[in-house]
Structure 1
């Protein structure tokens, strides 16, 4: 029967459709009501838990972060020449090899402030030298010569080499700086070439001091008991 032939009004037809739906699925209205009821119950429980949490935090104060100790990574030791001088005064002077290093070579061969230093003995393996140049060989000890006289710098270089030998370490770092005249840099370049325990040295990579520092590779001391370890 079409809508035109129907004797029911539009409102009556809508009521009839709703009644048919209810007959087809009698539980749908009940399920929808139960679902809404559960949602309301969950929201009430959440609100109750939030209220309890707020009550539990009453009187609690935020910690003062200024009182918390900062944990920093330990840095590799890097004494300056004055520190080495104080150490020598307290412990007594160390016996150093090749204590008499000539300055003649430094006077005859000055180096430029930005020049890259490079030296190796003929028998040193190329691969080892390249590792040193790349900064891949971890240095044990370092000394900063900034502010030193030439004599203080000479003593500090000899001391740092001896300290490394005593500890059976074979890579050190010497920070000589650049300076307009590169005086200390010139002397360090000369002294290291003369020292019999120096196998190689090279200006440090940019992130480790660049042309203001050298990484030095030393012989290991076979007479040192730690050598076997």
Structure 2
């Protein structure tokens, strides 16, 4: 004689007593995020990575081919910005954009800066040229580079290069630290306490 699955289950469960509801067990789940979750979400949104295209597709204000490019985020120390302007930081990587078409230059720039940040490179040189003979407007690539660099979250500051690095046809760029370097610094400062 074969016993059905339901009958077998009922036979095995006959001595099981249900657990009483405890006043310490929370039965309803909160659907709204906690303050800590909101803060984590805000921090995650602020820590934007370069692997996505965050650059706004708006018309650019064109600069003169001989203008110096300069930009500094708030919080960058004056001495750090001065050293960048004077070319005192070692340039560990450079990108040649003069021969790259404008529609590919943005993606090339983003990829380059992303790789530099992953390799913990802080100071780079972007060679965009002065674009003296660009048509219909001079300095097209230089103008767009200035706009794009100012919009990238990983760029702390930039300044036109010294003459021996290309003068106004190139730009020094100071990048933020990578996530790994930030963590190392926090740990090092924590140990000093």
Q: TM-score, normalised by structure 2?
A: 0.64
Aligned to 1:193: 150
SS in structure 1 of the partner of residue 172 of structure 2: strand
Aligned to 1:205: 162
Aligned to 1:127: 79
Tell me the matched-pair count. Answer: 133
Is contact 2:69–2:171 with CA below 8 Å preserved after alignment? yes
| Runs of 4+ more than 3 Å apart | 95-98, 223-229
Aligned CA RMSD, in angstroms, stands at 2.0
| Residues 95-142 of structure 1 deviation map (CA, whole Å, 9 limit, x = unaligned) | 8334131231xx241111010000001210000000000000011110
Aligned to 1:99: 53
Aligned to 2:111: 159
Q: Distance in 2 between matches of 1:225 and 1:189?
A: 26
Change over 3 Å in CA distance of 1:98–1:193 after alignment to 2: farther
Query: Which protein has the larger Cα radius of gyration, Structure 1 or Structure 2?
Result: 1
Query: Which one has a larger percent helix, Structure 1 or Structure 2?
Result: 1
Q: Give the 5 Å matches for 1:135-174.
A: 135-174=87-126
Q: TM-score, normalised by structure 1?
A: 0.54
Query: Which one scores higher on RCO, CA 8 angstroms, separation ≥ 6?
Result: 2
**Unmatched 5+ stretches in structure 1:** 1-94
Deviation at 1:206, TM superposition (A): 1.0
**Unmatched 5+ stretches in structure 2:** 1-48, 133-137, 189-193
Is contact 1:166–1:224 with CA below 8 Å preserved after alignment? no
Q: Give the 5 Å matches for 1:25-174.
A: 96-104=50-58, 107-174=59-126
Q: Distance in 2 between matches of 1:103 and 1:139?
A: 29
Q: Distance in 1 between matches of 2:75 and 2:122?
A: 16
Change over 3 Å in CA distance of 1:211–1:218 after alignment to 2: same
